[in-house]
Structure 1
């Protein structure tokens, strides 16, 4: 049984307004209690632990100084917002995090007025905050006439993306009062990469915090009088802004920092002075430590970024064991086999080496693996350049993140028919991360592009074959999608065998009804088929493998030999089923009386729950497929229950 921490100060907090009545000493103690409560809650629910622990003091200070929700606090990515939720009236539900009908793991506008802007992807906060600032100055809606400050909190990983600089460039030009907190913990999900990471590192490595040098360009005016008088705290807090702030100042921001993001004696005076005196855009650079205050998180390679339920004392996570390998590891196995056979095979990831399995590839082939940072647009075009240069690039990107590079997919890859191989992880519904991370749209937005090959793996052996197919394919772009989690436990080859492009397979012969699956719902289709067989209905079951090009011969044969044809996929409308319907219409098959149905994700965003529960909402589990067959056959309730 979990022992919950003693939190006498936190117990008195019902909203951020309660923080504004506390002394600085009480705020320091409150931060300790919030950290303990966060650890306790996540130990019961699992979730993003390290990021929230790294911003506890910042969160307490921001709510204590600023008048939230009138002042709009906008969190980038927002997986660090569990402390924020605890302080904004949601503590009583904090142990429902990421569960069905519980609190979202990210900010969500419909959940609380304190969640000014929803997030889950990175690098959006400064753009959104600037929008709030301009809306404030233009009057906004009548009810928003009292809008206050806009404060964006962005991490050093998120600020590596181009969108953040587009926003800062615009903010510097407009000159609006805007506050950006750069939460620099030297780590996003994986260790940061790139020139920006090196630049931020130099800001606090070129001189010690204890050394106070000349403060540039009037920024001293933002410091409270004790700091202007050379108090000891100032020497611990500031270093040379003539060196450190140059990049941000050139973008039009006044720069303060670096400061210790865990020292309330530094954070509170700076925030109060900025609140009272800032006029234009200002950036406060705070150094923090991901996982701060909880040794198991601090010592973990990823600083406890994403954890399962765990024992608070030991930090040991309670992960269910599986006999089947995860699809991500199967992809890595397949890619390593191809790389061993062809030294032109290279891999690209956008800040997700562990999540995509490319950490394993990097260990074996460090000179052929490229982490471009949180920059999917650049990553796609970089891969296009690699392909144009004669390499065989595999761009391994989650479905939800690939959306961020769609313009580049169209213009830089598809139009030029460059053989970039897209390994699309987290296809379908992903569980606790909810709607923002669902892989719902990739089939639809890729299969409509001329010259694209789009595949989906029905099991882990098929995934191995699709990796091999992609490696062997040099005639234009090719993509293959696969879900999160473990496979089915099928036997794996040492190396995949290339598939014939545009050819599916029959899994089971039957009659009257044909079930044509695209992707990993095949297991549910087979379960539905077994249930139907018990009713005397034995469907034909087929695995399409390809959404583009379609296996015309297979589809037209199934349509000719069966009264009912039902497609099943874990994607949005406009994907595989829509392409099948288009083919059937063009060939005049519907005129023959074929009853065709397409089972897809519904036209809604599905909130977090277990994958099983999410697919129940979507109507794509085995019992839903069985019911669709019975409904399409026109069987009444008595016949269905017989």
Structure 2
């Protein structure tokens, strides 16, 4: 039996001691290792399988970590992590106190830049390269590996535009597999397809037109060809661009054939590739499906309804509308800024636009929210999926800040539904016409009503804007919750000995606040506790404090939510526990009050 090469690779220096003829075996071992671990521990599979040969070649040719390598995004970086000293703890990937699922500067000297959001690598690598020139280090290499979905984002083009007028020692490697999480879209995707198939004349090359040395496309799974080309480019100064063709999921038949499902398949059989079925009978629906099914139902009745998402049709469940009403549902690619202003343009023409963006990604379009939507008071309906703590993806993906960064924007309505009924009803209410933009935030994962689809779906009720609801009466302490985290409050109250002391209010609207109820609460109760699945600094609790200060109330107010830290990866339950907003922590708090 051949020697297990991977077990002897503890860092890239060990890798560089190998003969090139040994590298195909190492590639197979690395693929098998990734498959074996991810099949049990879960994580992002397809992207890392697709760049195994490229990963080995990069560390074989370049003198990492002195030469600086950036992955865009970190979904591709599992092989990189394994080859750079993290093989033996790779099984802790994305788990509490384990290694991150994305490159992270504090984790390893080989992770030169933190990447969880896309399209940052070219700008970062260019910054590093120009800094090296300024320091007189003209031989250092700076390599950005970027996917074909990520390169379509505006920031990537901004970086290329700048690079073309510099003498920076920058190598951009386009990992072209025609898919991000969902299939790549747009004219650039069509252009790259034409290049790959030879239908685009070589002299008509948009990269060359930017004054960047272009080479390729080459087969990214031919490790000898990749190494040969990297060694050639290593000797060329200035900005360079290498077009590499790969297959996402390479080496696992099912992952190659169903690249969307096997992007992050959950647990599966490492030998057969078969995904282990989860028992999903009698479970509440996912919030994303409540959105997706509701928006499709409403759109069938209201021809003005438009759906927009930046590259997340599956993750947001806008795919239901895209399949049924493709002329009114748009995937605009990884282009959050464009998505928001595109929605604003449609809104000026009387369309009811639902712009579905993960909370963490709306951060990338903050100016557009303010300048193009709110300033013009356009009634764009922002549906912020993955709001709050998201679990294993960790700090780069938590929707922790939207309440704080949206609450200060004039004209903006902000609503967090308590459950699935609240979500479908606010979607219904929004399409009736609000005359203001609204942000509707809801979490990753499932709701609380197993019978939602059979019992409640389609039975819409109009929501009164700005109204809070009393869920439980009490005598001394008022707990004010925002959004689905309210279920933790309700469970905790039922589990304590003296629940009569505690009242519970659902403040679904953070803006506008129900000031009539707040006056009553502030003058009746000894203490107010606010709880939110978002940053306490500037969030819902801060709004209650501001109200109390404005109106000279002396009631004691305690804020609970996400603390002033970037919360690391782990399960949502573990993250809630860390922030003292899980059921058990709330039980303890309520018991001693």
TM-score by length of 2: 0.96
CA–CA distance in structure 2, aligned partners of residues 201 and 147 of structure 1: 34
- Is 2:84–2:110's contact at 8 Å kept on the other side of the alignment? yes
- Cα deviation for residue 540 of structure 1 reads 0.9
- Cα deviation for residue 503 of structure 1 reads 0.4
Once the two structures are overlaid, the 10-residue window that deviates more, 298-307 or 580-589, is 298-307
- Cα deviation for residue 567 of structure 1 reads 0.9
Instruction: Report the counterpart of residue 390 of structure 1 in structure 2.
Output: 350
Instruction: Report the counterpart of residue 503 of structure 1 in structure 2.
Output: 467
Out of 184, 198, 203, the position equivalent to 1:192 is 184
- Is 1:51–1:290's contact at 8 Å kept on the other side of the alignment? yes
- Cα deviation for residue 615 of structure 1 reads 0.7
Out of 53, 56, 77, the position equivalent to 1:81 is 77
Instruction: Report the counterpart of residue 268 of structure 1 in structure 2.
Output: 227
- SS of the equivalent of 1:247 reads coil
Instruction: Report the counterpart of residue 147 of structure 2 in structure 1.
Output: 155
CA–CA distance in structure 2, aligned partners of residues 45 and 240 of structure 1: 46
CA deviation profile, 1:206-232 (whole Å, cap 9, x unmatched): 35xxxxxxxxxxxxxxxxxxxxxxxxx
Instruction: Report the counterpart of residue 435 of structure 1 in structure 2.
Output: 395
Question: Does residue 34 in structure 1 map to residue 26 in structure 2?
Answer: no
- Cα deviation for residue 6 of structure 1 reads 8.2
CA–CA distance in structure 2, aligned partners of residues 502 and 43 of structure 1: 46
- Cα deviation for residue 531 of structure 1 reads 2.8
Out of 536, 539, 556, the position equivalent to 1:595 is 556
CA–CA distance in structure 1, aligned partners of residues 545 and 297 of structure 2: 37
- Is 1:129–1:151's contact at 8 Å kept on the other side of the alignment? yes
- Is 1:517–1:544's contact at 8 Å kept on the other side of the alignment? yes
Instruction: Report the counterpart of residue 237 of structure 2 in structure 1.
Output: 279
CA–CA distance in structure 1, aligned partners of residues 201 and 409 of structure 2: 51
Structure with max Cα Rg: 1
Out of 519, 523, 526, the position equivalent to 2:483 is 519
- SS of the equivalent of 2:96 reads coil
CA–CA distance in structure 1, aligned partners of residues 73 and 330 of structure 2: 23
Instruction: Report the counterpart of residue 91 of structure 1 in structure 2.
Output: 87
Instruction: Report the counterpart of residue 252 of structure 2 in structure 1.
Output: 294
- Cα deviation for residue 473 of structure 1 reads 2.9
How do residues 320-399 of structure 1 correspond to structure 2 at under 5 angstroms?
A: 320-322=278-280, 323-399=283-359
- Is 1:529–1:538's contact at 8 Å kept on the other side of the alignment? no
- Is 1:291–1:303's contact at 8 Å kept on the other side of the alignment? no
Question: Does residue 585 in structure 1 map to residue 549 in structure 2?
Answer: yes
CA–CA distance in structure 1, aligned partners of residues 501 and 432 of structure 2: 37
Instruction: Report the counterpart of residue 520 of structure 2 in structure 1.
Output: 557
Question: Does residue 67 in structure 1 map to residue 25 in structure 2?
Answer: no
Out of 204, 207, 211, the position equivalent to 1:252 is 211
CA–CA distance in structure 1, aligned partners of residues 201 and 325 of structure 2: 40
Aligned pair in 2 of structure 1 residues 181, 536: CA closer, same or farther (>3 Å)?
A: closer
CA–CA distance in structure 2, aligned partners of residues 147 and 586 of structure 1: 61
Instruction: Report the counterpart of residue 226 of structure 1 in structure 2.
Output: none
- Cα deviation for residue 490 of structure 1 reads 5.6
- Cα deviation for residue 301 of structure 1 reads 4.5
- SS of the equivalent of 2:534 reads coil
Out of 443, 448, 460, the position equivalent to 1:483 is 443
Out of 364, 385, 408, the position equivalent to 1:404 is 364
Once the two structures are overlaid, the 10-residue window that deviates more, 521-530 or 342-351, is 521-530
CA–CA distance in structure 1, aligned partners of residues 215 and 110 of structure 2: 26
- SS of the equivalent of 2:576 reads helix
Instruction: Report the counterpart of residue 165 of structure 2 in structure 1.
Output: 173
Question: Does residue 467 in structure 1 map to residue 427 in structure 2?
Answer: yes
CA–CA distance in structure 1, aligned partners of residues 201 and 375 of structure 2: 48
- Is 1:518–1:544's contact at 8 Å kept on the other side of the alignment? yes
- Cα deviation for residue 131 of structure 1 reads 0.8
CA deviation profile, 1:355-399 (whole Å, cap 9, x unmatched): 001001111111000111000000000000010011000000000
- Cα deviation for residue 553 of structure 1 reads 1.0
- SS of the equivalent of 1:360 reads helix
Runs of at least 4 residues of structure 1 off by over 4 A? none
CA deviation profile, 1:283-311 (whole Å, cap 9, x unmatched): 00000000011101011141611121111
- Is 2:138–2:169's contact at 8 Å kept on the other side of the alignment? no
- Is 1:65–1:271's contact at 8 Å kept on the other side of the alignment? yes
Out of 494, 497, 505, the position equivalent to 1:542 is 505
- SS of the equivalent of 2:164 reads helix
CA deviation profile, 1:536-588 (whole Å, cap 9, x unmatched): 64311111110000011112212222111111101112011111111111111
Aligned pair in 2 of structure 1 residues 7, 384: CA closer, same or farther (>3 Å)?
A: farther
Instruction: Report the counterpart of residue 15 of structure 2 in structure 1.
Output: 19
Q: Could you tell me which runs of 5 or more consecutive residues in structure 2 were left unpaired when the two chains were aligned.
A: none
CA–CA distance in structure 1, aligned partners of residues 170 and 202 of structure 2: 19
Instruction: Report the counterpart of residue 582 of structure 2 in structure 1.
Output: 621
TM-score by length of 1: 0.89
CA–CA distance in structure 2, aligned partners of residues 6 and 339 of structure 1: 60
Instruction: Report the counterpart of residue 118 of structure 1 in structure 2.
Output: 114
CA deviation profile, 1:295-328 (whole Å, cap 9, x unmatched): 0101114161112111112222235434111111
Matched pairs, number: 586
- Is 1:337–1:494's contact at 8 Å kept on the other side of the alignment? no
CA–CA distance in structure 1, aligned partners of residues 54 and 374 of structure 2: 44
- Cα deviation for residue 265 of structure 1 reads 2.3
- SS of the equivalent of 1:520 reads helix
Instruction: Report the counterpart of residue 312 of structure 1 in structure 2.
Output: 270
Please provide the CA RMSD for this pair.
1.6
- Cα deviation for residue 7 of structure 1 reads 6.5
Instruction: Report the counterpart of residue 136 of structure 1 in structure 2.
Output: 132
CA deviation profile, 1:415-471 (whole Å, cap 9, x unmatched): 000000000000111111001000001111111111110000111111111111221
Q: Could you tell me which runs of 5 or more consecutive residues in structure 1 were left unpaired when the two chains were aligned.
A: 208-238, 634-642
CA–CA distance in structure 2, aligned partners of residues 567 and 320 of structure 1: 35
CA deviation profile, 1:72-100 (whole Å, cap 9, x unmatched): 01000111111111110100011111111
CA–CA distance in structure 2, aligned partners of residues 490 and 302 of structure 1: 26
- Cα deviation for residue 146 of structure 1 reads 9.1
